[in-house]
Amino acid sequence: MDALISDMEVTIPAALMSNEINQLKHQTVQQMGGGQGFDPQNMPDDLFKEQAKRRVTLGLVLGEVISQQNIQADAGKVRAAVEELAATYESPEEVVKWYYSNEEQLKGIESSVLEDEVFDYIIEQAEVSDKEVSYQEVIKPESQGGDADESA
């Protein structure tokens, strides 16, 4: 996905950036144990700008691909994903019924399936070339000279 958005010039609406930064702040507080009264708004926006920009850009690009290619979540794949989740419970059939009766939860599964289908479409369209590299080159962090194009 890095290769997909690396050369794109996308105009990002300020409201989308602001919303994504706020979401990242809240996620960070949750990952740190809930913050016990810590206000995520006290964290500086600059800590999250690059990640927010990447996520918003990727979302806009994927949205455009979905729109242009008329990609939709396959109902069979959605059902398979729900059944896979339900299989870990004592009464899987009840969990499946719950997902299909809870629109918000089902939309989350549909969104995940749609995302997978978009990625599959993009990969089908991509030109892939093999490059031999050593094990050390593969595990070397990008900041130590790794090529940004190799991270996709």
In tens, the pLDDT along 122-152 reads 888 888 788 898 998 888 876 544 444 444 4
In the listed set 70, 98, 114, which residue is the last one of a domain according to the structure?
A: 70
Say what the pTM is.
0.65
Answer yes or no: do 59 and 109 share one domain. no
Q: What is the per-residue pLDDT across 78-122, written as a single tens digit (0 to 9) for each?
A: 999 999 999 999 999 999 999 999 999 999 999 999 999 998 998
Answer yes or no: do 53 and 82 share one domain. no
pLDDT of res. 18? 93
Chain centroid to CA 142: 21
- 141 located within any domain: no
In the listed set 33, 49, 70, which residue is the last one of a domain according to the structure?
A: 70
**Number of Cβ within a 10 Å radius of residue 110:** 19
pLDDT of res. 41? 81
Number of domains in the chain: 2
Q: How far apart are CA 110 and CA 75, in angstroms?
A: 8
Q: How far apart are CA 129 and CA 97, in angstroms?
A: 45
pLDDT of res. 150? 42
Residue count of the chain, please give it: 152
CA pseudo-torsion sign 69, 121, 81, 75: positive
Residue 51's nearest CA partner among 43, 113, 37 is: 43
**For residue 1, what are the domain limits?**
1-70
